[in-house]
Structure 1
Amino acid sequence: MVEPTRTTTVVEGRRSSGAGLIIALAVLIAVIAGIYFYSQASNSETRKDNAVENAANSVSKAADKAGDAAQDATKQ
């Protein structure tokens, strides 16, 4: 009698080297850094704008005082 031969087939799954994950993490870190630096630049512009506005308000108040003083001087 001849016994049937049995064969075993092993299918191995595809294994990744992890390079895709490393690239994805690098891109994520770059995006986060970009957002951080953009927000810092935006805050810097806002501070500059506020400083200019405050300076303009100070000049306006000084001009008002000078105008009031001139009017007071002409009344006397």
Structure 2
Amino acid sequence: MMDAEQSAPATELPVLVLTSAELQKILKISRTTLYRHVTTAPGFPKPIKIGNVKRWRFADVQAYLAGMPDAGAA
């Protein structure tokens, strides 16, 4: 019979997280705009709290950006 340790994956991938400054740089927006998006933009990723700081999951940001309409499309 297998116990829980044997059935668990050998290694887990780390969850990549972004600081507000990193997210601002990726999105090319100000801090004020970032927090405005958090509260008003539909589907915008919510930050997670790690201790006393807020971080954004990289996968959540990627998924949000993938779902946005292309700016060049008409």
Q: TM-score, normalised by structure 2?
A: 0.21
Greater RCO between the two (CA within 8 Å, min separation 6)?
2
Normalized per residue, the structure richer in helix is 1
Q: Which has the larger radius of gyration?
A: 1
Q: TM-score, normalised by structure 1?
A: 0.20
Normalized per residue, the structure richer in strand is 2
